[in-house]
Chain A
Amino acid sequence: MNPNAYARLLDRYLRPQLKRMLWLALLLFTGIGLQLASPRVIRYFLDTTQSNGSRPALLWAAVLFIVFALAQQLLGLGSAYLSLLVGWDATNRLRYDLALHCLRLDLGFHKTHTPGELIERLDGDVTALANFFSQFVLRIAGNGLLVLGILALLFLEDVRIGLGLAAYIALTLAILAAVQRLAASRWAAARQASAGLYGYVEERLSGAEDLRAAGALPYALYRLLLLLRAELHEYRAAHTLSAAVFNFTNVLSVLGYAVGLGFGAYLYTRGEASIGAAYMIVAYVGMLASPLQALREQARDLQQTAASVERIQALFALRPLVVDPPAPTGRPLLPAGPLSVGLDGVTFRYDDGDAAAGGAFALENVACSIAPGRVLGVLGRTGSGKTTLTRLLFRLYDPTAGAIRLSGADLRAVPLAELRARVGMVTQDVQLFQATLCDNLTFFSPRPPGSQADMEAALQALGLWDWARSLPQGLDTPLGAGGQGLSAGEAQRLAFARVFLKDPGLVILDEASSRLDPASEARLERAVDQLLAGRTAIIIAHRLRTVQRADDILILEEGRVVEYGPRLALAADPASRFAHLLQTGLEVTLA
């Protein structure tokens, strides 16, 4: 494990909380001082008692003891509070950074990681770091200081016991450091087993109906049992190894205490120490167990943390291939109003291993241009590259060769935020969140003033306003998980409303209406008219009727353009594929 990784994390997430950290340090260190003082008070008490010392002095000793102890509790409470604040602030910031980072990673990343796995990595791993942030450095420093303090006080008492204990502490720490490395890999394996388990569960829960329909529930449970068993084995191994470390150091501390006890007794019987001093030696040696144990616990946490830090760093180390260019100074690159689109020899191959395209080109030398305000209809069989084309337009991927331009600007030069604000898309699979209707419409973006009216207008245009108003809390009504309770048609129209709100210069309709019945679809047509008015559009559909409104037609086959031209001209040319498709397509439809 690279110590720099820790340092970077600490620097990034604790530096903003420097003041709190200083207070926390103050509280912890004062607490240590008080802890060190307590046995001395008892020693004074015992010696004074033995020598029949004065009563007020003893009274003071007792009062001092109580005050020290109560102060320790208060300090403990204060540092617990500060630790919580520091830990939560740091981990929440880390959660935020990680979430944002992962969301900005390429689509290829999301295609290879299940949401359940990402929850475990973003939340499970970060939660494991809470203690690391809030306590690690201070506890290491604090307990280290406590050990050194005890050692120093014992050196003052007797050099021999000081030396002996120094050797003992060094030995304990050396062994700890050695075994810690061993256990870290086991913890990494255990956490990975967990991520696998929860990734599996999350996905199966989402697909429960399909499992049931396929009669595969018993099989799904069988797989679950296998994963549970794997998790059990990994965790038991990790815990056992950690427990072995724990117990071994316990043996050491028992031996240390025995030596302390023997030595204290020996010194007293030889008259080299008072009974109070003898007790104090035993008490201090006994006290060593606690900071050493704390150091050990920190080491164990570090084992678990190391696994998490490693996985978090691995996530952070991923860089999107789609690089966001710096925002140009001055005017935005994309003009207001409808955008022109130019595809210039666009070739693309999925690079994410065994992707669907199987290493073949998903798009090959695709060229076309759409003037502002025109509508392009894209046709092609499933897998011909239509969906890939839309992904490239959003720059979810960059072309392997060639270029895409919007109003003359190469996509790679346009800041992603600007690009995606100016291009809108409705897909067949509408993603809804367990959040308010309003948040679902705006995708959680902060609401600018006047947006209420925009939303109303968008919903009205799609015939959803009456429905929205009838909800118990209007726009602020929470929708269920996965859009529970909404019909496919309502969900689809919400997706349209989203794009309305965005007011893009280019609209992509990807099989947008295929799930609607014809009657509802007809109602949506009006909305589409409105959406397309004054905008450039690309309509992608399997069905011919959907492309009626296209000015131009582009037909894709296995990633290549096999036909491209004005719709009416193509329809009128009996030799064209489009005309052929109109004919045979309909023949097939009506056969």
Chain B
Amino acid sequence: MTPAAASSPSPAGRAALPTPYYNWRLVAFRPGLFVVHSVFAILFFVFQVLPGLIEKQVFDSITGAVPAQVNLWLLIALYVGVELARLLSAVGADWFGWTFRFATGAMLRRNAVASLLHWRGSRSGAGAPALAPGEIVNRLRDDVNETADFPTWFPDLIGQVGAAIIAVAIMASINLSLTLVIFLPLLGTLLVTGLTWDRMRAYSYASGQAADAATGFLGEVFGAAQAVKIANAEAGVAARFAHLNEARRQASARYQMLRALSDAINAATVTFGVGVLLLLARQAITAGTFTVGDFTLFIYYLGFTTHIPGYLGNFAGDYRAQAVSIERLAELVRPDPVTALVAHHPVYVEQAPPRPAPIVKTPADSLEVLEVDGLTYRYPGSERGLHGVSLRVRRGEFVVITGRIGSGKSTFVRVLLGLLRAQRGSVRWNGQLVTDPAEFFIPPRCAYTSQVPRLFSETLRENILLGLPEDLADLPGALRAAVLETDVARLERGLDTVVGPRGVRLSGGQAQRAAAARMFVREPELFVFDDLSSALDVDTEHQLWERLDRRRQAAGARGACLVVSHRRPALRRADRIVLLKDGRMEGIGRLDDLLAASAEMRALWHAGEAPDGRDRQAG
């Protein structure tokens, strides 16, 4: 047993995804959208300097400081024209910007989910993040929102800083000393901002973690609603949620207040600049070297140029926060290389994505013999696991793996299928070495049903087919083989019944048989059952094995079964039984041989006997 100490991922760890590279990959994903957005955004900000100049002209011409070159009303019309042009730029920047950030966001989400499904679907122990689905949903939502739009901030930055530089240049050309006096203190604030960066980043990370914890908990709780209700634990669970939210409040408030403080320091410096301007401008105005128009221009420009340090501070803060979010997203693709997060897989914005091609079985896929040799796996930090297990499954055979709890039955199946990575040993399919079992043991070669199969909140048909084109699949046959046909007939909407989240609207046995039907409809060469029978009654289980057998016979004795079970019907049916004890092979052979040779087998067999001793006589 390994307690999940891994639930606190640290910011340090493997190679991070550098923020510039990350942003570059986003930009390169939709360069056209980005460029058009950028042009509009930069125009929008740079045009900010024009209204100030017009206002100066207005005041200078009415006070007579400079001779009126242009008619007052023409100036005002010009002002309106400039502002309308800016608005048009804003509209363009918005549309293209939104499309860009949603397209890149879709790419990030798609990549993260692809890696998550891949690694959670296989080798779950091999470095994939140990996060509850709720936490992952939180990251996919918030951290993608936090980062996907970040590239669109760069043209904003260029535009704002560009406008500020132009404005400062104009101001300096009007009165250099005044400009210097106003802007020098701003340098100090830049320094302050820089000093808070690291703290900002740490706070932001903590805030994200706290949010993860709360949403992760929520997901778990709603996934276990019935258990919570019958345990009478609604109040306790809600209190725990409140507790997690309180921690989240503190973490978030700390981060946001640091930001607000940094903003306020910046703004205060700005104000100080304006005050100084007031003090010093008087002399210049009375001396005639500074007009009222100049004064209004200074005030107007100060309105946006002095936002720059605060803006840069925010930008730096967001940049830092982005690094945190990138890290949190990069964790999701683990153990894929971090670059998998920003791989340019297509996402579909305007037209619909193409349906994946159906799986086609080739002659090379058909099973002659599966050879497993010396399979070894040890759970991290424990002696438990699997030690050198070998077996052979030939076409048409029914092989059972049995043993006590903890003997390694499920571990064997999981290692064989690549759900856990074997530390030693080999697997051969028709003599060919299987190098990546997780990729290999899938339909059309192999299908697998776990102890607790999952269904999804879709129709029963969709749950069984999972994208398999219905005209290519023998759905009625699979239903029959899975002993599900009468259940389906009794459902009001038959196969179109929506089975609810995780299939909760079906009984346990129905869900298990639906999972079996999902397996059968794919007509694999190798069926692997990890205790499929645990939710089935005696009759149903018997029927299921019979029908599966008939189905395989009908298909020309193709296909083989590898079944984890400790139940008698399976043991009796077996062509071969692999008996495991403490992760080692205790014996292999037919039931009678094992019963004769192995005390462990006898113990298991007799522990499984039925009431009234009838079983022993029958056996």
* B364 close to chain A: CB less than 8 A: no
B379 to chain A, nearest CB (A): 8
Report yes or no: A485 in contact with B1, Cβ–Cβ below 8 A: yes
Scan B217-255; emit 1 where CB is below 8 A from any A CB, else 0: 111111111111111111111111110011001001100
Report yes or no: B274 in contact with A247, Cβ–Cβ below 8 A: no
Interface locus among A168-176, A307-315, A339-347, A511-519: A511-519
* B608 close to chain A: CB less than 8 A: yes
Distance of A547 Cα from B611 Cα, bound (Å) = 9
Report yes or no: B607 in contact with A111, Cβ–Cβ below 8 A: no
Report yes or no: B443 in contact with A545, Cβ–Cβ below 8 A: no
Contacts of A420 in B (CB 8 A): 229-232
Question: 7 closest pairs, A vs B, by CB?
Answer: A219-B467, A480-B4, A212-B121, A382-B509, A207-B454, A69-B271, A518-B607
* A104 close to chain B: CB less than 8 A: yes
Report yes or no: B120 in contact with A261, Cβ–Cβ below 8 A: no
From residue 498 to 542 of chain B, which have CB atoms closer than 8 A to chain A? 498-502, 504-510, 513, 515, 518-519, 522, 531, 534-540, 542
Known: A202-B133, A472-B3. 9 other contacts (CB 8 A): A99-B238, A115-B134, A203-B456, A236-B98, A354-B498, A420-B232, A478-B4, A481-B216, A545-B611
* B292 close to chain A: CB less than 8 A: yes
Size class of the contact patch on chain A: 35 or more
* B347 close to chain A: CB less than 8 A: yes
* A449 close to chain B: CB less than 8 A: no
Q: Determine which of A99, A218, A221, A224 lies in contact with B218 in the assembled complex, contact meaning CB atoms within 8 Å.
A: A99
A496 to chain B, nearest CB (A): 13
Q: Determine which of B59, B136, B241, B612 lies in contact with A95 in the assembled complex, contact meaning CB atoms within 8 Å.
A: B241
Q: Determine which of A103, A275, A515 lies in contact with B531 in the assembled complex, contact meaning CB atoms within 8 Å.
A: A515
Assuming the contacts A103-B228, A115-B223, A427-B227, asked whether A203 and B604 have C-beta atoms less than 8 A apart, the reply is: no
For residue A357, which residue of chain B has the nearest CB?
Answer: B490
Report yes or no: B612 in contact with A582, Cβ–Cβ below 8 A: yes
Distance of A202 Cα from B137 Cα, bound (Å) = 6
Report yes or no: B106 in contact with A229, Cβ–Cβ below 8 A: yes
* A167 close to chain B: CB less than 8 A: no
Interface locus among B23-31, B161-169, B279-287, B425-433: B279-287
Q: Determine which of B225, B274, B450 lies in contact with A210 in the assembled complex, contact meaning CB atoms within 8 Å.
A: B450
Give 7 pairs: A residue, B residue, CB < 8 Å, sorted on A: A52-B286, A204-B456, A229-B348, A240-B95, A383-B507, A443-B231, A514-B535
A556 to chain B, nearest CB (A): 11
Report yes or no: B242 in contact with A96, Cβ–Cβ below 8 A: yes
Count of chain B residues near A, Cβ 8 A: 193
Report yes or no: A228 in contact with B106, Cβ–Cβ below 8 A: yes
From residue 85 to 124 of chain A, which have CB atoms closer than 8 A to chain B? 85, 88-89, 92, 95-96, 99-100, 102-104, 107, 110-116, 118-120, 122-124
Contacts of A45 in B (CB 8 A): 278, 282
Instruction: Select the residue from A58, A73, A417 with max chain B CB neighbours within 10 A.
Output: A73
Secondary structure class of chain B's binding surface, majority of residues: helix
Contacts of A209 in B (CB 8 A): 120-122, 124, 419, 450, 454
Contacts of A428 in B (CB 8 A): 508, 534-535
From residue 434 to 461 of chain B, which have CB atoms closer than 8 A to chain A? 438, 442-444, 447-457
Instruction: Select the residue from A201, A207, A480 with max chain B CB neighbours within 10 A.
Output: A207
Assuming the contacts A235-B102, A544-B611, asked whether A585 and B230 have C-beta atoms less than 8 A apart, the reply is: no
* B339 close to chain A: CB less than 8 A: no
Scan A485-511; emit 1 where CB is below 8 A from any B CB, else 0: 111111000000010001000000001
Assuming the contacts A114-B501, A515-B531, asked whether A77 and B261 have C-beta atoms less than 8 A apart, the reply is: yes
Assuming the contacts A254-B87, A428-B534, A589-B569, asked whether A116 and B133 have C-beta atoms less than 8 A apart, the reply is: yes
Assuming the contacts A214-B518, A586-B618, asked whether A489 and B76 have C-beta atoms less than 8 A apart, the reply is: no
* B131 close to chain A: CB less than 8 A: yes
* B590 close to chain A: CB less than 8 A: no
Report yes or no: B611 in contact with A73, Cβ–Cβ below 8 A: no
Interface locus among B150-158, B317-325, B353-361, B552-560: B353-361
Distance of A255 Cα from B83 Cα, bound (Å) = 9
Assuming the contacts A111-B501, A221-B113, A421-B232, asked whether A96 and B238 have C-beta atoms less than 8 A apart, the reply is: yes
A203 to chain B, nearest CB (A): 5
Contacts of B62 in A (CB 8 A): 265, 268-269, 278
Report yes or no: A517 in contact with B225, Cβ–Cβ below 8 A: no
A176 to chain B, nearest CB (A): 17
Distance of A124 Cα from B141 Cα, bound (Å) = 9
Interface locus among B14-22, B174-182, B400-408: B400-408
